Structure 1
């Protein structure tokens, strides 16, 4: 197919001039780069190209489309390469990401960025955050670049993950153009037809907005829509083209990287069956593992889409070396989503499926993973709750497997030590090897390590062998023997809990979103505990001891991965024998070390406030820009029942400012009582559009406006409402097992307080007031979850019934009850 050279003359002239000005002339004083996503598919390339070509110039800045892939990889985009060649676009005039140093332009304050087809810069460009000036996208808003006011993100978050409001970013670009040139109309139509599968109703990928744009463009294109679509589909799915692809080519063809709570994963889209993809190499597991390790990913997803005589078909593959994580992901995707996954045999080291719901592309799957994984990947002790929570409990602790490896986050309660991480390697044969290695990464504060080298906080490795414990500092090339097995320094036995008089702690803990049941037994110095989820996978190992009055230390290793396999165990466990050459100078003084270090950092005082004898907290952090939280609502000094509720919060300095607070029945909220003092029915407070509204959804959606934002107490809390008000630290509470530091500041009517744990996670919001000289009331919202993610606009939409003022307006209506 050839579209003629005359139509490309204007676009090619623009591309050549922009490339010359940006790369070949003296460094420009201003550059606006338009760039698509890292997969650099047809939608990304064409949307960035056409938007740069048609966007008006600003202050004589150069406008340059940049293809977000290296030039050598362009040929892998078969349909785009074919389309550009057919359109006679000068490929040599295009600028690819490996041909321009965007960081250098940014360093000289010469760069501005417009993102199309994505809303978060990829990792290698994260430092360019402040340069982003506009976003045009149709994927789930990842909450990045919150300073950007021009955010056209056509995506709606739903309980099932989310829904794109248009099928293609090119639809958003086309909607901005009032008069199309034939070539750009052809480019846009071709991509929109591809992305929506030409509005095939079975695919469910197109919307009314896509159809309206297609109908408009169809009148102006150089090739009829049906003919152009059929040709592009052939080029995109051509078996001959894909036959030339290597295994690695397939992985990088349409690859995107995502991140949840600092845990990264990758998702590749391919256009051949999984069996064809997997057979492109003799060692697929090794190659995908190399790919995963090189990018430092937790897991890799591959989604396949092929065209058959019966229509499009999808398949789904998950590779994850961590067995616990793989099991959790698989269980969630199979049981708790509408993907319609049925297992298919590919390889024992991967989980592969046929996917019945072909409409669920990567765009829909990624938001689903966010709903599962925010808490699971957090890597910190957490009260967050998600779909992995299991109600079944186990009655006795399971034995440890004979071999395993795990990673963990290490924290101390009651002891001023920084958070650190580490790993366990374990091998215990009944009639053979008994070995255990525990790595504590810098800036560790492990007591055994302190015995060997007091004051040394570099990475420390503990080797428990049958003849004793060895301490190794790899960065110092130093190793010593600390104690013998006879003195208690030996590997844990697999049944160390079962063989003792263990006790089960009451209730359970929510750890990384899992219900975990704890079992404890007295150790030589500490009370040693291990908690497991209902499948028997360990959640946390902890040690607790009370040394002196008001000094109870809890040492937690919270597992972030657990695999019942041990890779190269001789390397992981027996290294100490090659390094051992001396006894440690101070054997088993860890109890004294704990007490002396504690006393050195915390001089004795007579205060009963545990906060003053444990830790001097950091100032309260500001709220994130977007938050969803749940809480338990209680009153002290006021005889009303406990209730629950939710917060939805959104605050952008130069954008939307909304806050909604839901108080579930039987609520006793004062604002709700202003609107209707005779009900405890569920009540929602909307702080939006410069007003506060009170809504009773279960009372025929009754609603009224209580006040406007100019009235003190009726506006949206600013993120730094507490940190910017010179708050007073008022002590420490133990809330749901967390040490929480409270800060207070005088509010309009009450003393307003917020408490946070060591990681900046909110514990509780409270208001205190004294309606009389002998009465003190404390109103507490104790948080049971705290999710930082983008809020759907519909959350803050007030009901249609909110069209009148309340009979009693605030503040005249407010009279705290006793």
Structure 2
């Protein structure tokens, strides 16, 4: 009787309060207009990749804080996030501005003109000051990447690298702080989809989730279904639970099918050119510098096709190096840019690829050389105690076999473009482990010579060898 009564009460609450519940995103639009008119409001902003977790978690924090949600991308890049577009359209969370390249009207973008006084960081834990003309106060940090130890003074701060999705943290706060009859149903649907996608449907083989992801997903399903699971709260039960109709994106009936459907939407890139593929999922981070040497940034593009397909998408006048150069020139303060491709299934065993290009050698640490950089990166994990504690303690480095085997890199010049360095990668390695490793290797202490960066990096020879 208790479960039936709770189910009836919550269901009636959702019906009678549907206007309030379903209009939370209109509040985002209204507050964005107020911000653009000069009012001071908290801006919840995701990371520079502008992926679905960054976007949806920012929307969730903006809802909680009565603030504005920001995607840290240009407005014309929003439509490239096919999974975010499809999920938010399904949930009815956004309206699209066809006069502005189909971007979501409810979101703020880096090419908007505004003033920021306070920000909430989601899906990253270090403020990118270049996004803002002034120096806003960091009010909150919710993230699932490696903790960089910044903004410890934030009123709300929760960084859990073991999590599969930042949306798990934000959804947990919503479920704890909002009374049942005021829960933003469509936002919870978007968060459930995001968590399903980021955890790969809680696939135990891929191990991209934690116990918190599992419990929060169960609680979201409880809220959306208006009843609690009577089968337990473990991952096996979660994968088998039937999701309610209002969360059944493209007809998915389980969280496993939901992840697959959203993954298909993310991989819907058949119409994109090579240069667009580099911009779909791009992150940028500052090279560590303890002596104020003004080092530049590292950029890593997550490419949703394999390397042969990326090459096929080049226009006749393009090369792999030229599209990386173009990307590098449009990003501020970029020293070096990488691209990590999807798995090439023709390789045995199946492998990803990583390739890189120097953008501005003067922004690299003194003494930088390709030989030293690649040797240091290749040795991580292969030599005893070669991983620093802040990496070795991250469970992902164990799950991806990096602690035991390293990244298994063998750099060479790519036959398609002999000015470009590349290597294959194990298919399990992700940007969440590669980017922190790259930042660690690129810090100044890796390079022992005192020659300036500009003199330690010279032109390529005709055969692709360093002169």
State the TM-score, normalized to the length of structure 1: 0.41
Residues in 1 aligned to 2:35 and 2:203: alpha-carbon distance in whole angstroms: 48
Q: Answer yes or no: is 1:269 the counterpart of 2:297.
A: no
CA contact (8 A) 2:341 2:354 kept: yes
* 2:55 corresponds to which of 33, 41, 45: 45
From the two aligned structures, give the one with the greater strand fraction. 1
From 316, 319, 327, the counterpart of 2:357? 319
In structure 2, C-alpha distance between the alignment counterparts of 1:101 and 1:138, rounded to whole Å? 29
SS of 1:349's equivalent in the other structure is strand
How far the C-alpha of 1:119 sits from its partner, in A, is 1.6
Partner of 1:266: helix, strand, or coil? strand
Between the aligned partners of 1:227 and 1:270, the Cα distance in structure 2 is 23
- Provide the C-alpha distance between the structure 1 equivalents of 2:27 and 2:184, rounded to a whole number of angstroms: 19
2:334 equivalent in structure 1: 297
Q: Within 5 Å, which residues of 2 pair with 1:96-245?
A: 96-98=108-110, 100-103=112-115, 106=116, 111-125=117-131, 127-154=133-160, 164-176=161-173, 177-178=175-176, 179=180, 182-219=185-222, 220=224, 221=244, 222-223=247-248, 224-237=254-267, 241-245=268-272
Structure 1 residue 14: Cα displacement? 2.9
Structure showing greater relative contact order (alpha-carbon pairs closer than 8 Å, 6 or more residues apart):
2
For residue 365 of structure 1, what is the aligned residue in structure 2?
434
Instruction: Give the equivalent residue in structure 2 for 1:65.
Output: 69
Alignment gaps of 5+ in structure 1 = 1-5, 57-61, 155-163, 376-383, 387-512, 517-538, 541-557, 568-818
> Which consecutive residues of structure 2, in runs of 5 or more, have no partner in the other structure?
1-14, 97-104, 225-243, 249-253, 290-294, 362-366, 382-405, 462-467
**Are 2:298 and 2:439, in contact at CA under 8 Å, matched by a contact in 1?**
no
- Could you say which residue in structure 1 is the equivalent of 2:459? 565
What is the Cα deviation at residue 17 of structure 1?
A: 3.6
Classify the secondary structure of the residue corresponding to 2:443.
helix
1:269-288 alignment, distance < 5 Å: 269-281=302-314, 282=316, 283-284=318-319, 285-288=321-324
Shift of the alpha carbon at 1:271?
A: 0.8
SS at 2:263 equivalent: helix
- Secondary structure, aligned partner of 2:262: helix
Cα shift at 1:137 = 0.9
Give the 3 Å change call, closer, same or farther, for CA 181–277 of structure 1 in structure 2. same
The residue that corresponds to 2:407 in the other structure is: 339
Q: Which structure has more helix as a fraction of its residues?
A: 2
Q: Distance in 2 between matches of 1:10 and 1:191?
A: 23
CA drift at 1:250:
1.4
Deviations 1:164-222 (A, max 9, x none): 22111011112222355543332112111211212223323222222222333344353
The structural deviation recorded for 1:46 is 0.9
Change (3 A) 1:126 1:32: closer
Map of 1:698-709 to 2, 5 A cutoff? none
Q: What TM-score, normalized to structure 2?
A: 0.69
Q: Which residue of structure 2 lines up, in the alignment, with residue 801 of structure 1? A: none
In structure 1, distance between residues paired with 2:264 and 2:165: 19
Matched, 1:259 2:286: yes
Residues 286-685 of structure 1 aligned to structure 2 (within 5 Å): 286-295=322-331, 296-306=333-343, 314-320=352-358, 325-337=369-381, 338-342=406-410, 345-356=415-426, 358=428, 360-375=429-444, 384=445, 386=446, 513-514=447-448, 539-540=450-451, 558-559=452-453, 561-565=455-459
Q: Secondary structure at the match of 1:243?
A: coil
Distance in 1 separating the partners of 2:185 and 2:94: 17
1:122–1:257 contact (8 Å) kept in structure 2:
no
Task: Measure how far apart 1:280 and its partner are.
Answer: 2.1
Shift of 1:95: 2.4
Q: How far does residue 68 in structure 1 lie from its aligned partner after superposition?
A: 2.4
Question: How large is the Cα RMSD of the aligned pairs?
Answer: 3.2
How many residue pairs get matched?
A: 362
Equivalent pair of 1:70/1:96 in contact (CA under 8 Å): no
Q: Which has the larger radius of gyration?
A: 1
Per the TM alignment, residue 354 of structure 1 is displaced from its structure 2 partner at its CA by: 2.2
**CA distance in 2 between partners of 1:89 and 1:307 (Å):** 35
Describe the superposition over 1:501-541 as per-residue Cα deviations: whole angstroms up to 9, x where unpaired. xxxxxxxxxxxx32x5xxxxxxxxxxxxxxxxxxxxxx44x
Alpha-carbon distance in structure 2 between the residues aligned to 1:357 and 1:306 = 6
Task: Find the aligned partners of 2:284 and 2:25 in 1 and give their Cα distance.
Answer: 29
Q: Secondary structure at the match of 1:271?
A: coil
1:38 to partner: Cα distance: 1.5
SS class of match (2:92):
coil
- Contact 1:138–1:153 under 8 Å retained in 2: yes
